[in-house]
Amino acid sequence: MKNLFDLSGKVALVTGATHGLGMAMASALAKNGATLIVNGHTPSKMEKALKTYQDNGINTKGFLFNVTNETEVDQSITEIENTIGPIDILVNNAGMIKRVPALEMDISEFRQVVDVDLVSPFIMSKRVAKTMVERGGGKIINICSMMSELGRDTVSAYAAAKGGLKMLTRNLATEWAKYNIQVNGIGPGYFATEQTAPIRVDGNPLNEFIIQRTPAGKWGDPEDLAGTTVFLSSKASDFINGQIIYVDGGILATIGKPLENDKK
């Protein structure tokens, strides 16, 4: 049974793994035997991240490239393939959010979010799948969001991109299942990372709303994604194609609790 989840001999690349959810998922893959490669695009953050991985007993190599740049992606993946080996597991995690009301959002900001959160997983997947097809299989995991399903004030670009990423996941799963490539997604709920740091402050009404709105009653810990990431990267998920697993403390399962003074 344990062998079903063993990733020994597999090469895994996680984008945006210099901190946050990417680092937690990358660490989980390495701890289950994968040879780990992490991507980031800020040299100082990469340097700090590589030290953190090392301090935690995780061997990894870092590759700095911008996931939205097709040329940089191609050069880096080619270098990884030539120096470490072809990629068996790709986690498209790099992402960004801009919290701006739609009426005030510049089109250039909207485009930037869509570029990072939706176009880049396509660029990455297309490049990596080329070699997966030649080698007879692979695993691709796209990091979606609850905003793949729900809207919220100020996140029009993010919701559009993450909703698109859900459908890209289903479409690539459909096209590539015949090559034994499983494409699936993980939809995290609200997790404590840099991206959500501006919200997680005492007195911020959104912070209180999120805790109240989550049936589990708390923010997710990035390590809560470890099991699902390993599962979707392993043999245990070989007949799972095009699914998004929401790891959200139950938010998407419920309409929410009544407010304190409105229990009707």
Ligand X SMILES: NC(=O)c1ccc[n+]([C@@H]2O[C@H](COP(=O)([O-])OP(=O)(O)OC[C@H]3O[C@@H](n4cnc5c(N)ncnc54)[C@H](OP(=O)(O)O)[C@@H]3O)[C@@H](O)[C@H]2O)c1
Enzyme catalytic residues: 158
* Binding residue for ligand X, selected from 9, 42, 235, 254, defined by CB under 6 A: 42
Q: How far is the CB of 241 from ligand X (least distance, A)?
A: 21
- Cα distance between residue 148 and residue 53, in whole Å: 30
Smaller CB separation from ligand X, 21 or 157: 21
Q: Which residues contact residue 32 at a Cβ distance below 8 angstroms, ignoring those fewer than 6 apart?
A: 5, 6, 7, 230, 233, 234
Question: Bridge partners of 138?
Answer: 181
- Cα distance between residue 40 and residue 94, in whole Å: 8
C-alpha 126: how far from its chain's center? 17
Q: How far is the CB of 96 from ligand X (least distance, A)?
A: 5
Convert residues 186-225 into a mask of x (bound to ligand X by CB under 6 A) and - (unbound). Answer: --x-xx-xxxx-----------------------------
* Binding residue for ligand X, selected from 124, 143, 157, 206, defined by CB under 6 A: 143
- Choose one: 4-12, 35-43, 125-133, 234-242; the region binding ligand X (CB under 6 A): 35-43
Q: How far is the CB of 8 from ligand X (least distance, A)?
A: 26
Q: Is 35 in the site for ligand X (CB under 6 A)?
A: no
- Choose one: 14-22, 100-108, 204-212, 226-234; the region binding ligand X (CB under 6 A): 14-22
- Choose one: 11-19, 52-60, 102-110, 175-183; the region binding ligand X (CB under 6 A): 11-19
Smaller CB separation from ligand X, 33 or 215: 215
Residues 50-79 that bind ligand X (CB under 6 A): 66-68
Question: Bridge partners of 47?
Answer: none
C-alpha triplet 172, 176, 178: angle, nearest 5°: 150
128 token code pair: 């990596």
Residues 74-133 that bind ligand X (CB under 6 A): 93-96, 116
C-alpha triplet 158, 110, 148: angle, nearest 5°: 20
Smaller CB separation from ligand X, 9 or 256: 256
Residue 162's H or E segment, with its range, is helix 156-176
Q: How far is the CB of 206 from ligand X (least distance, A)?
A: 12
C-alpha torsion angle, residues 254, 236, 147, 94 (rounded to 10): 150
CB-count burial class (<10 Å; 0-12, 13-18, 19+) for 33: middle
Site residue total, ligand X (CB under 6 A): 29
C-alpha 183: how far from its chain's center? 13
Q: Is 28 in the site for ligand X (CB under 6 A)?
A: no
Q: Is 159 in the site for ligand X (CB under 6 A)?
A: no
C-alpha triplet 81, 222, 115: angle, nearest 5°: 55
Alpha helices in the chain (DSSP H): 20-31, 43-55, 70-83, 107-114, 120-135, 156-176, 205-213, 226-233
Interacting residues with ligand X (CB under 6 A): 15-16, 18-22, 39-42, 45, 66-68, 93-96, 116, 143, 145, 188, 190-191, 193-196
